[in-house]
Structure 1
Amino acid sequence: MANRGSSRPNGVGQTKICQFKLVLLGDMAVGKSSLVLRFVKGQFDEFQETTIGAAFLAQSVCLDDTTVKFEIWDTAGQERYHSLAPMYYRGAQAAIVVFDITKPETFDRAKAWVKELQRQASPNIVIALAGNKADLAEKRMVEYEQRKCQKQIHRIQLMQPEAEVLIFMEQTSSLGGGAVVTRKML
């Protein structure tokens, strides 16, 4: 992550610019690409094409005197691409591990992703566990209490996207110290 100060056009003060690498991990069809496209383009497509390998997207967010440039890696969820994942999460400041609340096996796999990140990723990486497809709450198979237990075990952030809402995280204080800028999409 690079911090640079640059003058505003009128010369009145400094704007900090931070680059921030974010990776999304999880099983196929849990909604990783949909979440990213909603964040970057404000679009939601119920029938998203399957990601092959990984997709790269970028998004800048301005908060007060800081511009955060997100470099987002949306990884493929198929098992055959698993060996490529370290290439994408290497050097990431944050990882969002996504699972489908209607499919318990995707939650089990998400727990494995969290363990892998804790073993192999940067020791300062912020890991968030996101239960997706909240619009299918009547079919929910993974309860919040199950995830809460995992949070205590793994010391990770929990996120509950509502239908098509994603909150990247609620901490905005120290970008370099394991916090991520908030971005809420409605």
Structure 2
Amino acid sequence: MKTIEGKIVVLGAQGVGKTSMVVRYIGKMFSPHISPTIGASFFTCKINIDDIRVKLQVWDTAGQERFKSMTPMYYRNANAALLVFDITQPSTFESIQSWVKELQKNVEEHLVICVVGNKIDLHEHRRITRDEAMKYAKSIGGTYFEVSALQDQGIEQVFFHIALTLARLEGEDLAKTSLRVYETDENGLIASTSNLKATDVGKTETASWSIDSIAHADSLKPNICC
């Protein structure tokens, strides 16, 4: 089976629900008591698109200002970025614009960008309209999604969009990207590397997950609530 590996970095202000969104998708759970991320947390998941397996390495970064100087080492060589904001907090929407500037300055290769408005379950307190967010996403060459980590709405579409976009890179010069493409045998071992030949017909998802918490580049004990 052909496998393509890509790296996703999740960026946004503290409290917008980045970790809740990732854990909801990959861990199939939600906790209202998730602690703020320290440094970054690392997750993996796999999505099958027709005969292509897309393996996503998801780096969930800390939103606290004191960790912002560390973030460049996490989004280096990223293939996709999730820019998450809280639809009830205009300041969190404004903050993603600074992340875009950082990405443009530090990531040289093509980047799949998704702007994600979280907490649509709080629609009665909405301060950022869908049209406003869509317009901004379009202006930076991204795609806009609205989700609710609490109610498990829209998150699957975000990750599938990224996997599908990476799988559509047929004809790209992969030597100029950090994507890894390889064939695996019946035992799941790497058989050979090759150029990607992808289609977007059909969809099955086999989301498996693991988590490692990273702080100052040192591994910590895995913790589902990091």
Q: TM-score, normalised by structure 2?
A: 0.68
Q: How many residues align?
A: 168
Cα deviations by residue, 1:30-57 (Å, 9 ceiling, x for unpaired): 0000111012111111221111000011
- Distance in 2, matches of 1:62 and 1:28, equals 32
User: Tell me, what secondary structure is at the counterpart of 1:170?
Assistant: helix
Query: How far apart are 1:63 and its partner, in Å?
Result: 2.1
Matches within 5 A, 1:53-132: 53-132=39-118
Matches within 5 A, 1:23-38: 23-38=9-24
Q: Which residue of 1 is the match for residue 27 of structure 2?
A: 41
- Distance in 2, matches of 1:146 and 1:123, equals 27
Q: Which residue of 2 is the match for residue 164 of structure 1?
A: 152
- Alpha carbons 1:25, 1:113 under 8 Å: kept: yes
Please point out which of 92, 110, 119 is paired with 1:133: 119
Taking only the aligned residue pairs, the percentage that are identical comes to: 37
Q: Which residue of 2 is the match for residue 174 of structure 1?
A: 168
User: Tell me, what secondary structure is at the counterpart of 2:110?
Assistant: coil
Q: Which runs of 5+ in 1 are unaligned?
A: 1-14
Q: Name the structure, 1 or 2, with higher relative contact order (CA <8 Å, separation 6+).
A: 2
Matches within 5 A, 1:144-159: 144-159=130-145
Q: CA RMSD in A?
A: 2.2
Letter in 1 for 2:102: E
Runs of 4 or more, structure 1, over 3 Å off, are 175-178
Letter in 1 for 2:121: D
- Alpha carbons 2:11, 2:61 under 8 Å: kept: yes
User: Tell me, what secondary structure is at the counterpart of 2:5?
Assistant: strand
Q: Which runs of 5+ in 2 are unaligned?
A: 178-199, 208-226
- Distance in 2, matches of 1:82 and 1:68, equals 29
User: Tell me, what secondary structure is at the counterpart of 1:22?
Assistant: strand
Cα deviations by residue, 1:61-119 (Å, 9 ceiling, x for unpaired): 22221111111100000001111111111111100010000100000001221222122
Query: How far apart are 1:146 and its partner, in Å?
Result: 1.4
Letter in 1 for 2:168: S
User: Tell me, what secondary structure is at the counterpart of 2:48?
Assistant: strand
Q: TM-score, normalised by structure 1?
A: 0.82
- Distance in 1, matches of 2:79 and 2:161, equals 15
Q: Which moved more, 1:116-125 or 1:166-175?
A: 166-175
